[in-house]
Structure formats: C-alpha cells, structure tokens
Amino acid sequence: MKTPHNKIGLMVIVVMVMALLSGCSDKKEAAKTPEIVKDERPLIIGIVGPETGDEAAYGKSVVAGALAAAKRFNAQGGIAGKEIKVLHFDDQSDIGMANKIVKDLISQRAIAILAAPTGSSTFSPIHLVNDSKTLFISVGSRRHLKASGPFVFRTAVPDETATEDLIKYSIKELGVNYALVTAADNEFSLELSSLFKKALAKHNGVIKLEADTYDPFAGGRNIEAVIAAIKKSPDTLHGVVYTGGATEAVLLAQELKKAGLPLPLIGGEDLYSEEYLQGGDAVNETLAYTTFFADNKSAKMDEFIKDFGEGKPDRFAALAYDTFMLVAEAIKEAGSTDTLLVREALINRKDCEGVTGKTSFTSENMPVKHPVICKVKKDEGGERSFVFKQ
C-alpha cells in the first residue's frame, strides 16, 4: 500500500515534467515565427556606362532606353504612387571611374544598377554589388557573367540559344551542308564559330569545310583563299556560316557572287546593320539573328517607339527599356524594395513580354531569351531590308 508521501512525490514529478514539456513547446513556437526585418531602400535605379569617348554610343543608348521606360512606368503610377528615380553617370570607359560611380550608387542605396555592355562598366564593379546586395544588370553584354554572384544578371540573348535557333531554321530552309568561315583576328568570331559548330552538330548539320579570312603568315585578310577553298569543295554546299563583322561579311558576299557561288551567308547579330544592307545584291538572302527587330509590330513595340521619341533606337536602347521594366515590375510584385525580395521576384517571373521578346531568368541568374531570325530581301523599289522570318 502506497503512503501519502509517495503520492505527493509522484505528483511533484508529474508537474515538473509538464513544466519542462511546456517550456520546449514555447521554444519551438518561437522558432517558427522569427521576426523578419526588411532592408527597405529608396526607389533609385542607377546607370553606369560611357557617355563620352569612343564607346559613348553604348552608354547613351542604355540611358535613353531606361529613361524612356521610367517615364512610362512612373506616369502609370510608379510604385504605389511613388516614382522610381533614375541616376546615370559617365564612366568614360575607365575602370576606376566605373568603380567610383558604383560605390556612390551603393552609398545612396540604389535598388539596382544597369550597366552598359562595355568591359569597364560591366565587369570591374561585380565584387562591390555582391557585397552590398545591390542588383547589377549588364544590358546586352555578350560575355558570360555566370557564377559572378547572386546579384549579377545580364539581359542579352544568349549566343548559344541564338546560334541554335538560326541553324535550326537554316537547315529547314536551305539544307544540311555548310562552309564555316571564321575571322581569327576577331576574338568574338572564334567564340561564335565554336557555338555554330555545336549547333550544327546538335541538329545534324554538316560542316563540309572550314576556312579563315585571316592569314597569319601575311598578317592580314585573305578572302581570295576562302573563295578558292569553297570553289574546290567536292560537296554541294547550302550556305556559308560567317562569324566575323559586317564590313568583312560584305566583301565575302561580293566575292562569292563574283565567283559564281550563289550561297547565302548565315551570321550573327553583327550582320544586322545598315552597313551590311549597303552591300548590293550580293547580300540578298542572308540569314541573321538579332535581339531587336523594330519592324516586328506589337503593342509593346508601338509604346517603345513612341516613348523613345526622335531618333532610331538600337538593340541596347531596347534592352535597357525592357531591363528597367523587368526591375520595376519585380519591385512592384515583391511589395518591397528589399533587394533580396526583389531578386526573388525577378527570378520567379517568367516569360515577361517586352520589345526584345520574352525574358525569364534561371535560378542562377542566366537569361532565357530567344532571338528574331531575319532575312535580307530586296523590294520592288530596289531597297534592301531585313524581313522577319521567325
């Protein structure tokens, strides 16, 4: 038979255990609901790029496109009735100046900084923006920014995607056999040739011969040797993939025509230019890809052309316009100017429609975009232009 003392002792133990369990429960509950402190910033988007000097065209285009977008966005109510302020500065294509500008924008707690697609503007400030958790978006840079940090983006059409889209279209329309012509004195040409090779291999295209417009022995251009190699090809060719610039592309097209080789050129975005269109009948039927095609009519394009005003916008102005809108809409969707939340909104928004097509980002900040495929056509009046194909 149990004594009263045993019963009292048992009751004390039960009470103590319940108290301990209650204490653990309270701690767990507190851990479930930590207080979230948002790092709110002023509504500022900065721009860094050359506005004077040899590369001024890049910086000026980015500024013009972003300001045009800001004017429309703010006129439509901005963020809860507040305008986004745009601050732009000339880095004079100088790395030190670019870093100084970015540091100043960071000190003003800008939400995002848009950079012109130049080396000094895009690459030197990367460590600064990651450390400060400031969104940094290169407008149109060809060079990869992969693994540059969680706050670094770019909005160019990836050339990997563009070359693949162009080759798929070319094989469907022309055939499978190609000559690949590189300009080895052009670093980007070497990179682009590599991408075209991958695209051709992936889609069962065949490179029947490779040639180079640069003669390392002579130290200069030798298009005659390229034409001779193409003429000697024992296989039927359906086109010539060329990865150099517009000036040399015109010469190559003209020499092909003179040699009686009716082969269309297939090339990158550098061919999409007024200079190339001045190449005469030799450039007819050329296929190229581009980020921005002004004749691709849409409501977004009409708005952009109206907002841009006088002058003819280029792809960098169009990309800057879209980039500003991407950031502004991400701020609105995040419901906050905390850059962690804005970044999350930017990545989570998919297929955002703009004047340069649809844009998304991967979780690693990589752009997901497709180019416009176009062809050079001559109209009844003798004028040449790029026409939309895909």
Which domains does the chain carry? 44-157+296-368 (3.40.50.2300), 160-290 (3.40.50.2300)
Q: Are 251 and 189 in contact (CB under 8 A)?
A: no
Percentage, residues of the chain above pLDDT 90: 81
Is there a contact between 317 and 65 (Cβ–Cβ < 8 Å)? Answer: yes
- Inform me whether the pLDDT recorded for 21 exceeds 60: no
- Going by C-alpha positions, the residue among 381, 362, 337 that lies closest to residue 158 is 362
Check pLDDT > 50 for residue 254. yes
Say yes or no to pLDDT of 246 above 80.
Answer: yes
Predicted local distance difference test score (pLDDT) of residue 8: 41
pLDDT score, position 218 = 80
pLDDT value at residue 16: 44
Q: Give the model's pLDDT for residue 317.
A: 98
pLDDT over threshold 80, residue 99: yes
- Contact (CB, 8 A) for 176 and 206: yes
Amino acid 35: pLDDT: 56
Q: Which pLDDT band, with edges at 50, 70 and 90, does 13 fall under? A: very low
Express each pLDDT in 216-244 by its tens digit: 888 889 999 999 999 999 999 999 999 99
pLDDT score of 5: 44
**Which band of pLDDT confidence, cut at 50, 70 and 90, is reported for residue 25?**
very low
Burial class (CB in 10 A: 0-12, 13-18, 19+), 76: exposed
Distance CA 40, CA 42 (A): 7
Q: What is the pLDDT of residues 271-311, one digit of tens each?
A: 999 999 999 999 999 999 999 999 888 999 999 999 999 88
Beta-bridge partner residues of 82: 79
Share of the chain above pLDDT 70, in %: 90
Quote the strand ranges of 213-251, DSSP E. 214-215, 220-221, 239-242
pLDDT at 313 over 90: yes
Which whole number is the average pLDDT over 237-253? 97
pLDDT number for residue 36: 62
Band the pLDDT of 29: cuts 50, 70, 90. very low
Question: According to the 3-state scheme, what is the secondary structure of 90-109?
Answer: ECCCCHHHHHHHHHHHHHCC
Q: Is the pLDDT of residue 251 over 80?
A: yes
**Whole-number pLDDT of residue 30:** 47
What is the pLDDT of the chain when averaged over all its residues?
A: 91
Pairing verdict, β 367-368 and 206-212 = unpaired
Q: pLDDT, tens digit, for every residue of 324-333?
A: 999 999 999 9
Q: In this model, does residue 6 exceed pLDDT 70?
A: no
Residue 14 has pLDDT above 50, yes or no: no
Side-chain half-sphere CA neighbours of 190 within 13 A: 5
For the record, the structure tokens of 250 come out as 């015109």
pTM for this prediction: 0.87
Q: Which one is predicted more confidently, 382 or 173?
A: 173
Q: Tokens representing 297?
A: 């009519």
- pLDDT at position 78: 98
Question: How long is the chain?
Answer: 390
Helix (H, G, I), strand (E, B) or coil at 282: helix
Q: Is the predicted pLDDT of residue 40 greater than 50, yes or no?
A: yes
Residues 376-384: what's their mean pLDDT?
Answer: 93
At 32, the pLDDT band (50, 70, 90 cuts) reads: low
Q: At residue 233, what is the residue type?
A: S
DSSP string, 286-318: -EEEES--TTS--HHHHHHHHHH-SS---HHHH
List of residues 6+ apart from 277 with CB closer than 8 A: 283, 376, 384, 385, 386
Check residue 367 and give its pLDDT. 94
Q: Which residue has the higher pLDDT, 140 or 169?
A: 169
pLDDT bin (cut points 50, 70, 90) of residue 10 is: very low
